[in-house]
Structure formats: C-alpha cells, structure tokens
C-alpha cells in the first residue's frame, strides 16, 4: 500500500489507529503492531515517499530478503482437500528445501526466541512447535499520545492491559465489553456526544479497549469511558442485558468459518478447537457477579495499566497538559 493510500485511509480507520497506538506501551506485541500497522507505519511510509534519494532504503532490501527467506523463521499452513493434501504438502517441502539450500549462516536478528507447542493443550514432546519472539526487557507503561491532524472530528481510544485468551476471566471481560457498548457507551458517546460510533472490545492480545469514531469530542469521551467503568463496577445491568450481550458475542464466536480459514486460529494464535470449546463454556457461565468482579479487578483506577491515544484537530487543553505527548 502506498504512503498516500495509508494517509487517505486514516479518516475511515482512525479509531483502529487510535487503538493500536494506545496499546503500544502495554505489550511487546502491541509495540510491534504500532510499528507495522499504526501511525508509525504511516509516518515511515510518508518519509520514504518524500525522499529524493532512495539508495539507503534499497540497500536494506537484501538484508530483509535474507531474514524473510530463512527456513528457521518460517512455518507453513496448508489448506486443501484430503485428495490434494499429499501433493500440496510435497510442493511446500520442495519450496522449503530450495530455500534451505540457499541459506547462509548469519547472526540471528532477534536472539530472544522461545518455542511453544502449536497446541498448548498437548505437551511439547507431542506437538509441533512454533517460535515466538520474546522481549525480556519490555516493561508496560502508561502513555497518552495526541496526533494533531487536519480533521474536524476525533478518534479516541483507551486501552487497558488485562488477560490473555486462555485466562478464565477473558470470557467475562468479553461479555462485559459488549454489555458496556450496548447499554451504556452507545448512549453516552453516540446519542449524547454526537459521535458516529463508540464502544468497548476485548481483544485476543489481552487488551480491553475503549474507542470512539468520528467524534466531535475528545476529553468528554475519555470521561464517558470512566463513567462506563463505574457503571459496570456498580452492576447497573439486568440479567436480560447479560443474556443479550451473550447472544451478540456468541453470534461472532460461532460465525461460519470459510473453508480456506479452517485451522488458521491454531496456526497463527495457538488456539485449537478444544480451547475454543472451553471458551464457549466459559462465556455461557458468565454471571452478574463475575462481570462486576472483573470490572473492579481490571478496569478500576489503581488496578490497571492503560494507554490513551487521540487523533484529531488541535486541542488547546491537551496542548497545555504536560501529561500528553503531542505529535
């Protein structure tokens, strides 16, 4: 995608860029996502597009090629009918052997590599492994970033470090996000605040995220996020509200999977079907009590490590606030 296409896409995906930026300092994966998919990537592409001499960039391509075409850094997923599986697997093996023959010895670009079984429910001795980047020096920290852009509206996000998919509290947080969106945040951010949209979501990366889209407000919306947390902590919702949230979440969890995507969640994220079934059972078991407990445990002031990000027009109050990093 070109630099111009990336820049033009911000108004349509500004809330996504805000969420990615807010998550940057919370997890190592969030830091990488900002580099590859966030505002950092937009700015990098813009600088490259404005360069009159691309020689420094072109010199890096051979090094990138050596790293990418390294069998030690590669895993392959083959999706085929039973009749074609052996033939497809053979072709993949030929490709990997060809790459291996051209491999040259060199230093590892990232020395901190850990290996985990592809299926976490099976021991490493019985399951193929997958190599993951580990950053032992990473420490989560809170940061508030404001991007001044030539837009008439804002894109606001607050991300909170919570728990990974396999944690027993993940299901409650997932239901809570849907519940807060439908029963509180939609009214506060869209109906009262005038934004095109807003809500909360619980991501597989272990982050609980609030967001607003095409929002005429910024600081007021951050206050609405906090009010939503207090609403959840107080348990101001009914059993019918919970049941409706569960139905909405289950409609996404049990959505049909295209044949070409079968098995991809295990390949990319290490989530096998057995773990998905356990997650369904945990979603079904969520109660009013568990929702109030996770709201207090993870979202309350003092219990959370969070990041904030806003993309929008110049804001005098934020510019005067030293706690914000203005870009």
DSSP 236-251: ---HHHHHHHHHHHHH
Residues 6+ away with beta carbon under 8 Å from 42: 3, 6, 7, 10, 17
Please tell me the distance from the alpha carbon of residue 143 to that of residue 239, in angstroms, as a whole number: 36
Q: Do 320 and 146 meet the contact criterion of CB atoms below 8 Å apart?
A: no
Please tell me the distance from the alpha carbon of residue 246 to that of residue 240, in angstroms, as a whole number: 10
Please tell me the distance from the alpha carbon of residue 126 to that of residue 105, in angstroms, as a whole number: 29
pLDDT by residue for the chain (327 residues), tens only, comes to: 677 888 888 999 999 999 999 999 999 999 999 999 999 999 999 999 999 999 999 999 988 888 888 887 788 888 888 899 999 999 999 988 888 877 665 555 555 666 766 665 555 555 556 666 667 788 889 999 999 999 999 999 999 999 999 999 999 999 999 999 999 999 999 999 999 999 999 998 899 999 999 999 999 999 999 999 999 999 999 999 999 999 999 999 988 988 888 888 888 888 888 999 999 999 999 999 999 999 999 998 766 789 999 999 999 999 999 999 999
- From residue 247, alpha-carbon distances to 242, 250, 252, 305 in Å are 9, 5, 9, 30
The pTM score is: 0.87
């Amino acid at each position: 995608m070109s630099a111009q296409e990336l820049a033009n896409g911000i108004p349509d995906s500004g809330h996504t860029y805000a969420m990615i930026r807010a998550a940057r300092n919370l997890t190592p994966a969030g830091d990488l996502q900002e580099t590859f998919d966030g505002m950092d990537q937009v700015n990098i592409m813009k600088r490259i597009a404005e360069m009159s001499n691309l020689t420094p960039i072109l010199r890096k391509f051979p090094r990138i090629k050596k790293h990418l075409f390294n069998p030690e850094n590669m895993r392959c997923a083959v999706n085929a009918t039973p009749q074609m599986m052996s033939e497809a697997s053979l072709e993949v093996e030929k490709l990997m052997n060809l790459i291996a023959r051209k491999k040259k010895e060199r230093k590892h670009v990232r020395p901190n590599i850990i290996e985990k079984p592809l299926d976490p429910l099976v021991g490493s001795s019985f399951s193929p492994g997958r190599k993951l980047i580990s950053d032992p020096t990473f420490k989560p920290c809170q940061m508030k970033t404001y991007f001044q852009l030539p837009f008439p509206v804002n894109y606001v996000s607050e991300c909170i470090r919570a728990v990974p998919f396999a944690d027993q509290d993940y299901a409650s947080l997932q239901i809570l996000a849907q519940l807060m969106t439908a029963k509180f945040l939609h009214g506060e951010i869209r109906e009262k605040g005038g934004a095109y949209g807003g809500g909360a979501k619980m991501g597989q990366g272990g982050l609980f995220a609030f967001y607003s889209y095409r929002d005429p407000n910024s600081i007021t919306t951050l206050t609405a996020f906090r009010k939503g947390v207090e609403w959840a902590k107080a348990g101001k919702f009914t059993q019918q509200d919970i049941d409706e949230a569960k139905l909405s979440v289950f409609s996404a969890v049990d959505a049909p999977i295209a044949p070409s995507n079968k098995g991809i969640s295990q390949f990319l994220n290490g989530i096998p079907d057995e773990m998905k079934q356990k997650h369904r059972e945990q979603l079904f078991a969520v109660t009013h009590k568990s929702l109030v407990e996770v709201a207090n445990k993870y979202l309350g002031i003092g219990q959370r490590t969070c990041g904030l990000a806003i993309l929008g027009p110049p804001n005098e109050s934020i510019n005067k606030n030293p706690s914000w990093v203005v870009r």
